[in-house]
Structure 1
C-alpha cells in the first residue's frame, strides 16, 4: 500500500476545525468531527496534532492572525487620521469586515482564554496587534481605549436584538478619537 501524498492536509484540518468551531463551539468540537469535515482519516488528527488542545491552539492562532491581518490592512489603508476614524466607523457598522462566523469564533476564543490561561497569549497577541494598528494614527492610550470600544461595540451590535444605532456608534468613535 502506498502512502498518499497530501502536503496540505494539516492546513485543511485547521481550516475544518475553524468551521466546526464556528458551527459547534469549543464544547462541540472533537477529533472525529474535524476529521470528517476535513475529509481525512481520524488517524491523521494524531499524526498532525498532539491532542485536541494542540488543534484548537493551531486553529485559534490562525484565526487571530488572519483577523488581525484584516484589521491591520484596514488601518494601513487609511489615508490619514480622519480616514482611520471613518474606517473604524465602517468596520463597526459591518460595512468593512466581519460576519457571524467571525463573531462566533472570536467569542469562542475569548471564552476559552477566560477559562484557560494557556490561551491568553493568543488573545494578548491579537489585542497587541490591534493596538499597534491603531497606533499608526493614535497615541497608545487612545489606541487602547479605541480597541476596547471597538470590541465592546462590536459585541453589543452583534448581540443586540433591535436595529443598531449607527449614529451612536459613530459618535462614540469620534468622541474618543477627538480627545486624543
Structure 2
C-alpha cells in the first residue's frame, strides 16, 4: 500500500515536470543582438564569410535562435544592412537639421565627408560590403535607394533638388575616394568643392 502511494506521488511530480518543462530565459534583446553581431561578422569576414554559426557565436546565443528570429541568412543580412543604413542616415539628418543657414549646411556637408558621422573603417567596410551584396541581390538595392532618398531629403532643407543630388554624390564619392587613397582630399579642398557645387544657393 505504501509503495503504491509513493509511486502515485512520483507520477504526479513527473506529470507536473512534463507539463511545465524547463523555463525559457526571457531575452527581449536577443534579436537585436543577433543583428549587431551580424554586422560585426560582416565587417570582419565579409558577406561571403558570414555564417549562422559565426553570428550566433558573436551574439552569444544558441544556434537555433538564428532560424527562430530570421528566415535564413538573406533575411538576416537584409535586416542588418537596413538597420546600419538607418543608423547612419539618422546621424546624417541630425547634422544637417542642426544647420540654420546655407553656410552652416555647407559646413555640415564637409563634416559629413571629413568627420566621423559616416567615415570610420568599420562603416566604410560595411558600405563596400553592402554595395557588393546589392550588386548580387537586386532586392537589396531598395536599402540603398531609401538611404540615398533620405540623404537627399535632408540636403533639400537647404539646397535645391539638383544641388542636393550633386552634393549627395559628392559625399559618397569623396568618402570612398578618401578611404582608399593614400593622398586623401584635404578638408579645405573638400570645402572648396562643396562651395562650388552649391554656389548658386542663397547664402
Same fold (TM over 0.5): yes
Corresponding residue for residue 154 of structure 1: 175
Q: TM (normalized to structure 1)?
A: 0.95
Corresponding residue for residue 106 of structure 2: 85
Give the counterpart of 2:138 among 98, 112, 117: 117
Q: Give the whole-Å Cα distance in 1 for the aligned partners of 2:99 and 2:51.
A: 41
Q: Give the whole-Å Cα distance in 1 for the aligned partners of 2:144 and 2:117.
A: 22
| Structure 1 unmatched runs, 5+ | none
Corresponding residue for residue 61 of structure 1: 82
Offset of 1:2 from its aligned partner? 1.6
Offset of 1:97 from its aligned partner? 4.7
Corresponding residue for residue 18 of structure 1: 39
Q: Give the whole-Å Cα distance in 2 for the aligned partners of 1:114 and 1:140.
A: 27
Q: Does 1:8 align with 2:51?
A: no
Residues 41 and 58 in structure 2, CA contact (< 8 A), matched pair in contact too: yes
Residues 88 and 117 in structure 2, CA contact (< 8 A), matched pair in contact too: no
Q: Deviations over 1:74-104 (max 9, x none)?
A: 1001121110101111221225553111111
Q: For this pair of structures, how many residues does the alignment match?
A: 180
Residues 91 and 117 in structure 2, CA contact (< 8 A), matched pair in contact too: no
Dislocated runs of 4+, deviation >4 Å: none
Offset of 1:166 from its aligned partner? 2.5
Q: TM (normalized to structure 2)?
A: 0.85
Give the counterpart of 1:173 among 194, 197, 200: 194
Give the counterpart of 2:69 among 30, 45, 48: 48
Q: Give the whole-Å Cα distance in 1 for the aligned partners of 2:68 and 2:166.
A: 43
Corresponding residue for residue 151 of structure 2: 130
Corresponding residue for residue 143 of structure 1: 164
Q: Give the whole-Å Cα distance in 2 for the aligned partners of 1:50 and 1:97.
A: 29
